[in-house]
Amino acid sequence: MRDVLQSLGGLALCGLGLYRWSMVRGAQGVPAQRYVHRSVLCLGTALVLLAPATARAVEHTVALPGLPMLTGDLLRMLAVSCLGLLAARSVRRQAATTALTLTGLVVLFSAAGLQHASGEVFVDADRRLLLAAYDTVLTLFPAWHLVALVRVTLRRARRAVPGAQRTGLYLFCGGVAMGVVWTAWGLDDVRLALLTGRQTDGDDPLSTALGLLCAALVIAGGSTSAWAPLRHWWWSHRTYRALTPLWSALHHAFPEIALMPPRPGIRRLTPRALRFALYRRVIEIHDGLLLLRPRMEPRSLVEQAPAEARAAAIRAALETSDAPVVVHGGERHPPAPAPPGGAAEVGTDAEASHLAAVSRSFAEQAAATVRRSGAAV
């Protein structure tokens, strides 16, 4: 289970990194966003690689003890280095420092002569200091960057305007702070290296939990810009489904209102296709109501009529849709009613919401009629 959670967390980070990369690809003047998506991609790949099951599979394939641990640690150092650039550090100096650190890790790893047995790596007694030095670099280098980044991110969050941006910065700051805790846990590896010369190949359970919490906060903070589109997509999906009873009844009475068949398969669930389908359905319902309007009571067509009253009037008119058109009281029929709030334009969110409420009332009244008919029988 731990392997699955760690791998899923890593894949989620990789997905977020690819999403952010697609958003800034080819853009100019957004180096900070490029640093973030590179860091997230490196960290996600490291989490997947350091999952115990993945580490064992790689070692069985390559037959080089500790290779997954070294590769995962190098990726984490690259991720931290990219985040360090967000603290307004010199790119050239940061690149030189990172290159020296990665080289030092490879040298210490090679000199330690790690051996592998039963999911652990160990070294000979005379090389414990080398393993401890390796673990110390893994602890101090990220801590130096992450502590500075926490200060910078917290300062920016306090200056940001209230809303999604500030929330995202605070969540990202929390993820970085959890990264500091995750890094500090590496001191336990230093202790084990000095005392026993042994340590887990990959992340231990506590390190995995800290890494997953860090990943969750970073993902939440980095995805705040997508919250509003996701909420609107979910609203569009629910509204489209809510319009189905009213649309089906009108389409059965007036088949000519259908503009075109919907897109097949999963393509209809994409944001653009769903929005187009929703407002096409709103227009079709509006056209059906225009055809049905001469058979409806004038009082049901007044502006801002309640959804229940409109639904009842539509049902009554549909039941007599084959009858001749009757003009009640000799009056001209008023224009199509506006939804609550005064948004009278067809195709607006307010119009779709009002028609969805009418459709729900229409379905409830139809269901109540069916229940009464069944009880009478």
pLDDT digits (tens, 9 = 90+) for 140-163: 998 888 888 888 888 888 888 888
Residue 202 makes CB contacts below 8 A (sequence gap 6+) with 50, 51, 52, 54, 55, 68, 69, 72, 119
Regarding pTM above 0.75, the answer is: no
pLDDT at 152: 86
Higher confidence at residue 336 or residue 111? 111
Q: Residue 272 forms beta bridges with which residues?
A: none
Asked if residue 316 has pLDDT above 70, the reply is yes
Higher confidence at residue 291 or residue 53? 291
pLDDT at 4: 73
325: left (phi over 0), alpha (psi -120 to 50) or beta: beta
Higher confidence at residue 12 or residue 130? 130
pLDDT at 300: 53
Closest C-alpha to 280, from 239, 320, 326: 239
pLDDT at 23: 63
Q: How far apart are CA 53 and CA 140, in angstroms?
A: 28
2-222: CATH class: mainly alpha
Q: What is the pLDDT of residues 349-374, one digit of tens each?
A: 888 888 899 899 888 888 887 777 76
Question: What percent of the chain is modeled with pLDDT above 70?
Answer: 79
Residue with tokens 């996600």: 44
pLDDT at 229: 82
Asked if residue 266 has pLDDT above 60, the reply is no
Closest C-alpha to 187, from 218, 124, 143: 143
Q: How far apart are CA 147 and CA 152, in angstroms?
A: 9
pLDDT at 167: 87
pLDDT at 342: 41
Long-range contacts of 312-316 (CB under 8 A, 24+ apart): 312/361, 312/365, 314/246, 314/249, 314/289, 314/358, 314/362, 315/362, 315/365, 315/366
- Given a contact cutoff of 8 angstroms between Cβ atoms, the answer to whether 346 and 282 are in contact is yes
Closest C-alpha to 313, from 331, 324, 330, 328: 328
In the chain, domain spans: 2-222, 230-376
Question: What percent of the chain is modeled with pLDDT above 90?
Answer: 8
pLDDT at 319: 81
Q: What is the pLDDT of residues 239-258, one digit of tens each?
A: 999 999 999 998 888 888 88
Asked if residue 185 has pLDDT above 60, the reply is yes
pLDDT at 305: 66
330 — pLDDT class (breaks 50, 70, 90)? very low
Q: What is the pLDDT of residues 63-111, one digit of tens each?
A: 676 777 888 889 989 988 888 887 767 788 888 999 999 999 999 988 8
Closest C-alpha to 268, from 236, 243, 245, 231: 236
pLDDT at 242: 92
